[in-house]
Amino acid sequence: MILIMTMISNTITEYDKMTLKESQVSLYDHSEIKVRLLKLYLERYLSIIGLSPYFNDVHIYDMFCGEGKYEDGGEGSPIIILKTIKEIIDAPDTGAQITSRFNCQFNDIKSKKTNKLSGIISKEGLHESRMGTLQISNSDYKDLIEVVKQKVKGLKKDKCFAFIDPYGYKEITVSDIEQLLAGNKTEVLLFLPTHFMYRFSSKGTPESLKKFIDELIPQENLPKDGGGIGFIENLKDAFRNKLGEDHFVDSFIISRDTNQFFCLFFFTSHIYGFHKMLESKWKIDEEEGRGWTNSQEEPSLFNQTDRKPVTYHLEKKLRVFLSESRTNSEVYEFTLRQGHLPSHANELLMKWQECGILYVTKTDGTKARKSSFYLNYTAFSKEPRKVSMIIKTK
């Protein structure tokens, strides 16, 4: 599994340059949400990998790791990664059953930063040999990404996890993501400052950004309407078209200030990894699972006052999807690809079953037990045709 988290911050105004400089020493709210999502995902997915008999070690790369801690005391990605691993192997219920070793490489081209990081890790006792190996390096990203891509090609039962948070976007290419995913051992979490990208795309585009976008879609074909969020949705669609149906793509929007939307794009070739990321997103945004805002007036990114999951978009699409017979595995995958959790679909299915319009049958054609929909990964992988379901309105 490779998780790549990329932060791209190349701006043109003195204010933006000042903000970037300050963000490197202080853990602002929007940065805290980044590492919170990372931690939530690691807690869920690494625990599963560690307990699975089908996988061996996990190789974790943090390619722009920084100092590990901000001047205001906020914890960065390498500290979060180590603490999460330790929590997993020390968990009272499952820790003793963890068979995987988590081998970490924390990299930053600036030795001053990695020296500070090494000191923090040593002082706080954040790494122990029982966790796996730890390597701290000062490689250039372009060299390291080639090493990781070669690593992925040779993996059999091992997984990889990479976290990329660069200081500028000129080093990052879409083809890097595509090649990392090619081995089907990969998770990618890509952080983009889409606010600046959107502004550039409408007011003249730097060559490095133009190259990045053109890998996805020719700029003349990129829709101009929809504002900052529309720009993010267009990029997500372009990623999906580029990578194809064998991969799962989703996004998590982070609003720093009014109309300033940054975004985490998540990529994986494994549906269960995708499921775990969606759980992490919905843990932060309980209403739509779409994003976070620092506004004190709005409880969610999209100004919802009800803390319950908003599922009307899923309801409309699922109704159409079930106009013909579908298996439990098809409904499970469809629900995840809409950015929703099986629990959301289960509620809708139960409502339709109560209304008498949803028919659920077993493989032998007999009626299934009430509320037996089998929308989970175990059934998806082992009993993909456990039941079939269809909506009949007449």
Q: What is 153-197 written as a DSSP string?
A: HT-SS-EEEEE---S-GGG--HHHHHHHHTTS--EEEEEE-HHHH
What is residue 19's predicted lDDT score, i.e. its pLDDT?
45
Question: Mean pLDDT over residues 27-32, rounded?
Answer: 64
Q: Which residues contact 95 (CB under 8 A, 6 or more apart)?
A: 88, 89
Tens-digit pLDDT profile for residues 178-229: 888 877 888 888 877 766 666 555 555 556 667 777 888 776 666 666 677 7
**Total residue count of the chain as it appears in this document:** 394
Buried b (16+ CB within 10 A) or exposed e, 129-153: eebbebebbeeebeebbeebbebbe
What is residue 21's predicted lDDT score, i.e. its pLDDT?
46
Contact criterion met (CB below 8 Å) for 385 and 328: yes
Q: Is pLDDT at 233 greater than 60 in this prediction?
A: yes
The one-character DSSP state at 109 is S
Angle between helices 342-354 and 328-337 (to 10 degrees): 120
What is residue 174's predicted lDDT score, i.e. its pLDDT?
87
Residue 359 has phi, psi (to 5 degrees) of -115, 125
Q: Is pLDDT at 366 greater than 80 in this prediction?
A: yes
Q: Is pLDDT at 77 greater than 60 in this prediction?
A: yes
Output the six-digit token pair for 241. Answer: 């078209």
Q: Is pLDDT at 7 greater than 60 in this prediction?
A: no
Contact criterion met (CB below 8 Å) for 12 and 271: no
SS3 211: helix
Contact criterion met (CB below 8 Å) for 165 and 64: yes
Distances from the Cα of 393 to the Cαs of 13, 19, 36, 320, in angstroms? Answer: 58, 56, 44, 12
Q: Is pLDDT at 239 greater than 80 in this prediction?
A: yes
What is residue 168's predicted lDDT score, i.e. its pLDDT?
64
pLDDT band at 20 (very low <50, low <70, confident <90, very high): very low
Of 114 and 300, more confident = 114
What is residue 202's predicted lDDT score, i.e. its pLDDT?
52
Question: Mean pLDDT over residues 243-261, rounded?
Answer: 83
Residue 278: beta bridge partners? none
Contact criterion met (CB below 8 Å) for 265 and 239: yes
State the burial class of residue 87 (Cβ atoms within 10 Å of its Cβ: 0-12, 13-18, 19+). middle
What is residue 57's predicted lDDT score, i.e. its pLDDT?
93
SS3 217: coil
Q: Which stretch of DSSP H or E encloses residue 284?
A: helix 271-284
What is residue 185's predicted lDDT score, i.e. its pLDDT?
87
What is residue 294's predicted lDDT score, i.e. its pLDDT?
67
Percentage of the residues of the chain whose pLDDT score is greater than 70: 80
Shortest CA distance to 151 belongs to which of 239, 80, 63?
63
Cα–Cα distance, 129 to 374 (Å, whole number): 40
Q: Out of 113-127, 256-270, 380-394, pick the least confident.
A: 256-270
Tens-digit pLDDT profile for residues 296-353: 444 445 444 456 889 999 999 999 999 999 999 999 999 999 999 999 999 999 999 9
What is residue 223's predicted lDDT score, i.e. its pLDDT?
60
Tens-digit pLDDT profile for residues 81-108: 999 999 999 999 998 999 999 999 999 9
Q: Is pLDDT at 127 greater than 70 in this prediction?
A: yes
Question: Mean pLDDT over residues 140-166, rounded?
Answer: 89
- Whole-model pTM: value is 0.83
Give Cα 221 distance to the centre of its chain: 26
Which amino acid type is present at position 171? E
pLDDT band at 28 (very low <50, low <70, confident <90, very high): low
Contact criterion met (CB below 8 Å) for 191 and 89: no
Cα–Cα distance, 312 to 134 (Å, whole number): 46
Q: Is pLDDT at 274 greater than 50 in this prediction?
A: yes
What is residue 272's predicted lDDT score, i.e. its pLDDT?
92
Output the six-digit token pair for 91. Answer: 């968990």
Cα–Cα distance, 375 to 147 (Å, whole number): 38
Shortest CA distance to 327 belongs to which of 273, 380, 394, 269?
380
The one-character DSSP state at 75 is B
Q: Is pLDDT at 14 greater than 90 in this prediction?
A: no
Cα-Cα end-to-end distance for the chain:
47
Contact criterion met (CB below 8 Å) for 282 and 336: no
Cα–Cα distance, 173 to 219 (Å, whole number): 16
